[in-house]
């Protein structure tokens, strides 16, 4: 039997995360997302995901210090090429910048890879806006330093906390497309940079990590139109997909959507920010109504990307860099899965069925 989307096919055993699509629960190494988002720092989650896979990984404050040093290392390695990278735009610049990292699987390679998107993303944004690059500050957390490099002098507690919660929320998610891609490459025993680049490539598409940018475009189009209900109905009638809704695994609300909705609330302090959030909540309610009416039986609910878009917008990322922010959180998941796959030692090599000229199935 051929299953083109591999749905329900189990292709790996993992100790890393469990996605319960029917119950709407996500568990990261035994801990429920709703109990760790907003509680653990991203650095804690790096420790959690890599425990047992990287025996010499520093712990606690020493991990934060090591990641700070790794950000400095990445910045120095990229200095000669950063202007050329920035000309590619945020996502393509990030991909090309990561390709500059050595393709090993040791502790320093891992720290450098985890640090790389947190350095490259603000760098690509600032240079793309013809602003001077800002060097990392090794004393800060990964989230606060990313905002500092972005130029938010107020690497202000509330914004850094919201970004930190976002990074924790997206750190890992079962065998999603990008993680599967990273595991396929790791199964060949290639290095971690190669695995991460495979994951990053898969993340780009709008059916995976490329959705939050289009969420903003959708919200802006609805605001310009003035009639959310009519706009959404038209979009679905024309066969369009409402960005930030639906999921291959979740048949109920994506638990990450709620974690991010909670995280974005403290950022809505100004009247303009509060109005933006209220508008988005109205669009969400209207979209869910339209999907229930027009796609009955499909169980299409809000996914992680809807509130990702609002959070990243509030924190100060331009929509073209949203996928980079996703990579900043998910990279630790890719690395942990790649190490788990390398240790499993089995090449992933499925079959295809030939339906071309000369085959029994050719028409
Ligand atoms: N808006 C309108 N219709 C939808 C949507 C949507 N967002 N999602 C699914 N459908 C419809 C689809 O048109 C199809 O209808 P019909 O059977 O009448 O043709 C039905 O629902 C089933 O669609 P499917 O393509 O078989 O479902 P899937 O499991 O492959 O889709 C998905 C999962 C995420 C690709 C899809 O829901 C989608 O395109 N969503 C919008 C993009 C988006 O938000 N992506 C981010 C995903 S979450 C991030 C992550 O974890 O990677």
Strands 25-28 and 17-20: antiparallel
For residue 241, the CA-to-ligand 1 centroid distance in Å is: 7
In short, whether 237's Cβ falls inside 6 Å of ligand 1 is no
Residue nearest to atom 21 of ligand 1 (CA): 298
Q: Does residue 244 have its Cβ closer than 6 Å to ligand 1?
A: yes
Buried b (16+ CB within 10 A) or exposed e, 103-123: eebeeebbbbbbbbbbbbbbb
Catalytically annotated residue among 305, 313, 337, 340: 305
User: Residue 58 Cα, ligand 1 centroid: separation in angstroms?
Assistant: 40
User: Which residue CA neighbors atom 16 of ligand 1 most closely?
Assistant: 295
Residue with CA at minimum distance from ligand 1 atom 20: 298
Q: 27 by DSSP, 3-state: which?
A: strand
Query: What is the pLDDT, as a whole number, of residue 363?
Result: 61
Q: Which residues contact 265 (CB under 8 A, 6 or more apart)?
A: 277
- pLDDT at site 1: 83
Atom 34 of ligand 1, residue of closest alpha carbon: 247
> For 16-75, how does the pLDDT look when each residue is reduced to its tens digit (9 = 90+)?
999 999 999 999 999 999 999 999 999 999 999 999 999 999 999 999 999 999 999 999
Sheet with 31-32, edge to edge strand ranges: 17-20, 25-28, 31-32
pLDDT at residue 280 is higher than 60: yes
Please answer whether residues 259 and 38 qualify as being in contact, where contact means their C-beta atoms are separated by less than 8 angstroms. Answer: yes
Average pLDDT, the chain: 95
Q: What are the angstrom distances between the C-alpha of 131 and each of 36, 119, 324? A: 36, 15, 19
Active-site residue, selected from the candidate residues 43, 173, 247, 284: 247
Residue 152's pLDDT band (cuts 50, 70, 90): confident
User: So what's the pLDDT on residue 360?
Assistant: 80
Q: Which of 241, 291, 305 to mutate to test the pocket of ligand 1 (most atoms within 8 A of CB)?
A: 241
Residue 155 reports pLDDT greater than 60: no
What is the Cα–Cα distance from 15 to 88, expressed in whole angstroms?
A: 37
337 in catalytic set = no
Residue 305 is a catalytic residue: yes
Distance from Cα 249 to the centre of ligand 1, integer Å: 10
Dump pLDDT digits (tens) for 298-343. 999 999 999 999 999 999 999 999 999 999 999 999 999 999 999 9
pLDDT in tens, 204-236: 998 988 888 899 999 999 999 999 999 999 999
């Amino acid at each position: 039997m051929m299953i083109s989307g591999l749905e329900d096919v189990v292709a790996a055993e993992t100790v890393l995360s469990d996605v319960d699509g029917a119950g709407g629960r996500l568990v990261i190494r035994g801990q429920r997302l709703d109990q760790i988002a907003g509680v653990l720092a991203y650095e804690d989650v790096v420790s959690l995901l890599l425990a047992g896979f990287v025996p010499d990984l520093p712990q606690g404050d020493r991990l934060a210090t090591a990641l700070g040093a790794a950000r400095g290392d990445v910045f120095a390695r990229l200095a000669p090429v950063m202007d050329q990278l920035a000309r590619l735009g945020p996502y393509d610049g990030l991909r090309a910048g990561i390709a500059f990292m050595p393709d090993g699987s040791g502790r320093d390679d891992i720290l450098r890879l985890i640090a790389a998107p947190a350095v490259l993303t603000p760098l690509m944004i600032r240079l793309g806006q013809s602003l001077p690059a800002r060097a990392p500050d090794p004393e800060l957390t990964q989230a606060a330093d990313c905002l500092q490099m972005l130029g938010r002098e107020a690497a202000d507690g509330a914004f850094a906390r919201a970004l930190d919660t976002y990074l924790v929320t997206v750190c890992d998610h079962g065998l999603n497309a990008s993680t599967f891609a990273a595991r396929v490459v790791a199964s060949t025993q290639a290095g971690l940079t190669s695995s991460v680049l495979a994951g990053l490539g898969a993340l780009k598409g709008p059916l995976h990590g490329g959705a939050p940018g289009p969420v903003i475009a959708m919200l802006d189009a609805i605001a310009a139109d003035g009639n959310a209900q009519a706009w959404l109905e038209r979009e679905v009638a024309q066969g369009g997909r409402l960005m930030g809704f639906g999921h291959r695994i979740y048949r109920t609300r994506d638990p990450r959507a709620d974690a991010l909705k909670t995280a974005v609330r403290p950022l809505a302090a100004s009247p303009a920010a509060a109005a933006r959030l209220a508008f988005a909540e109205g669009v969400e309610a209207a979209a869910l109504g339209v999907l229930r009416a027009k796609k009955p039986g499909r169980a299409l609910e809000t996914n992680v990307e809807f509130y990702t878009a609002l959070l990243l917008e509030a924190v100060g990322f331009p929509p073209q860099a949203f996928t980079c922010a996703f990579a900043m959180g998910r990279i630790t998941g890719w690395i942990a899965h790649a190490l788990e796959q390398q240790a499993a030692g089995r090449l992933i090599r499925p079959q295809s069925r030939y339906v071309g000229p000369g085959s029994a199935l050719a028409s």
